[in-house]
Amino acid sequence: MLTLITQWSIGFSLVAMVILWGVYWWTYQAFEKTGFSKFACTAMLAIVASIQVFHGWALAFDGQVFEEPFYLALLFASPVAFYGFCRELIEPQARIPPLAALAIVPVISGPWAPVQIALPLAFAMGGLSAFWLTLKLHRLKDQRRHFELERFGLLGIALVACVIFFVGLFAPWLGERFYVLAYANLTALVLAAILWLLLRYPDLLQKAIEAVTTSYAVSTLKNHDCDALARQLQTLMHKEQLYKDEDLSLARLAESLGLTTHQTSELINTQFDISFSRLVRQYRINAAKLVLTQEPNASVLSVGLSVGFSSQSSFYTAFREVTGLTPGQYRKQHGILTRTE
């Protein structure tokens, strides 16, 4: 029974990775994606997918993955691709140190080492990559007050890293079957969590990138007049009411300002002490307050759509988070009673 469940988990993993790959390449337009980040994303997902295929093969045909050099090479390559993708995503201006090229050495030589050495070493590399990302995110604690999900992200990263690390570390002694079942199902669980997070918080990745941008040691706006850019941004919001575009993204705003997404993110964080998503939401809520009081017969849905929200639920959630009230309660507080509430 467990084997069947695991095989279904592997199938789900493969479908999920195809979806994530397509979303990152073509659907997700919230920020600029470099060619290298697309390559690293493809490599990372292809490697994990190949590892899952090996797990499926082992369960279906009693294969021995520990005896396959290519499988071990994939285990070593996985943290390298993960590091490359995350680094390019959150620090596109930073140069990869020359010593990072040495990471290819264990990918080539590791598979030929004894399993008792190769497996713990491969998972130690994965643990180091996760630890590096955890440190990057932890630095946001003192620099970003508005990244609410940070502590949950840290907890999830730490938990997954620990489980994966210990599964790999003790795999030679726990047995290959236990290892395959645990690793395959854990991978499926992580992918399911990622899909859920992206559906529940579609701007989560954008928020993370914005937050990390503020931790750059070197400003991306050195040769720009930040005060003038801030005034230009306010003009776009106040006069042109750019916030009313429900598809407004950091990339689109950056294009209007003639900046990169990372420069725009830094500009908003340093000049307004807020993230892009919160800035846009604040403009929308302020506009909604006026409409709610000036047009008492307008429905809540029409008010939300008119200021840039894509649905009534997203409008309700944002309005309550900012004001502590629902739109209807806000109207009543201002002495406005209508039949539409």
Q: What is the pLDDT of residues 122-134, one digit of tens each?
A: 888 887 887 777 7
Domain identity same for 238 and 188: no
> What's the DSSP call for residue 93?
T
Instruction: Say yes or no to pLDDT of 56 above 90.
Output: yes
Domain identity same for 280 and 304: yes
Is residue 317 very low, low, confident or very high in pLDDT (cuts 50, 70, 90)? confident
Domain identity same for 159 and 293: no
Residue 248 lies in a domain: yes
Highest mean pLDDT among 121-130, 210-219, 236-245 belongs to 236-245
Write down the pLDDT at residue 150.
Answer: 47
Beta carbons of 304 and 320 less than 8 angstroms apart: no
Last residue of a domain, one of 213, 242, 277: 213
Last residue of a domain, one of 213, 247, 281: 213
Mean pLDDT of 211-237: 76
More confident residue, 216 or 41: 41
Write down the pLDDT at residue 205.
Answer: 66
Residue 238 lies in a domain: yes
Total domains in the chain come to 2
Residue 220 lies in a domain: no
Domain identity same for 45 and 181: yes
Residue 68 lies in a domain: yes
Residue 339 lies in a domain: no
Mean pLDDT of 225-249: 90
Domain identity same for 206 and 250: no
Instruction: Say yes or no to pLDDT of 10 above 50.
Output: yes
Is residue 30 very low, low, confident or very high in pLDDT (cuts 50, 70, 90)? low
- Please state, in angstroms and rounded to a whole number, the distance separating the CA atoms of residues 72 and 119: 8
Domain identity same for 30 and 106: yes
Last residue of a domain, one of 166, 191, 213: 213
- Please state, in angstroms and rounded to a whole number, the distance separating the CA atoms of residues 147 and 276: 11
Domain identity same for 104 and 149: yes
Residue 341 lies in a domain: no
Beta carbons of 285 and 323 less than 8 angstroms apart: yes
Helices 204-213 and 261-272: crossing angle in degrees, nearest 10, is 70
- Give 310-339 as a DSSP string: SSHHHHHHHHHHHHSS-HHHHHHHTT---T
Q: Which residue has the tokens 């950091």?
A: 250
- Please state, in angstroms and rounded to a whole number, the distance separating the CA atoms of residues 212 and 94: 12
- Please state, in angstroms and rounded to a whole number, the distance separating the CA atoms of residues 12 and 8: 6
Window from 8-17, 39-48, 212-221, 282-291 with minimum mean pLDDT: 212-221
> What's the DSSP call for residue 97?
P
Instruction: Say yes or no to pLDDT of 35 above 50.
Output: yes
- When the pLDDT of each residue in the chain is averaged and rounded to a whole number, the result is 80
Beta carbons of 124 and 162 less than 8 angstroms apart: no
More confident residue, 309 or 89: 309
Q: What is the pLDDT of residues 58-76, one digit of tens each?
A: 999 988 898 888 999 999 9
Domain identity same for 198 and 72: yes
Q: And the tokens for 124? A: 């130690």
Domain holding 292, by residue range, is 226-333
- Can you say whether the dihedral through the CA atoms of 72, 157, 139, 39 is positive or negative? positive
Residue 297, judged by CB atoms within 10 A of its CB (0-12, 13-18, 19+), counts as: exposed
Is residue 13 very low, low, confident or very high in pLDDT (cuts 50, 70, 90)? very high
Domain identity same for 190 and 268: no
- Please state, in angstroms and rounded to a whole number, the distance separating the CA atoms of residues 165 and 82: 15
Residue 218 lies in a domain: no
Write down the pLDDT at residue 276.
Answer: 86
Domain identity same for 232 and 85: no
- What is the distance, to the nearest Å, from the Cα of residue 100 to the centroid of all Cα atoms in its chain? 23
In the three-class reduction of DSSP (H, G, I as helix; E, B as strand; rest coil), residue 175 is classed as coil
H or E stretch covering 262: helix 261-272
Write down the pLDDT at residue 146.
Answer: 47
Residue 275 lies in a domain: yes
Is residue 244 very low, low, confident or very high in pLDDT (cuts 50, 70, 90)? very high
Mean pLDDT of 241-252: 88
- Please state, in angstroms and rounded to a whole number, the distance separating the CA atoms of residues 35 and 25: 10
Instruction: Say yes or no to pLDDT of 239 above 90.
Output: no
Write down the pLDDT at residue 190.
Answer: 85
Domain identity same for 182 and 250: no
Instruction: Say yes or no to pLDDT of 54 above 90.
Output: yes
Q: What is the pLDDT of residues 39-51, one digit of tens each?
A: 888 999 999 999 9
**Report field, pTM of the whole predicted structure over 0.75:** no
Instruction: Say yes or no to pLDDT of 16 above 50.
Output: yes
Q: What is the pLDDT of residues 136-167, one digit of tens each?
A: 666 655 445 445 554 565 556 556 667 777 77
Domain identity same for 191 and 242: no
Instruction: Say yes or no to pLDDT of 208 above 70.
Output: no
More confident residue, 131 or 317: 317
More confident residue, 218 or 197: 197
Write down the pLDDT at residue 303.
Answer: 92
Where residue 250 sits, what CATH number does that domain have?
Answer: 1.10.10.60
Measured CA distances, 256 to 6, 43, 231, 234 (Å): 48, 32, 13, 12
Helical H runs in 170-241?
171-174, 176-200, 204-213, 226-238
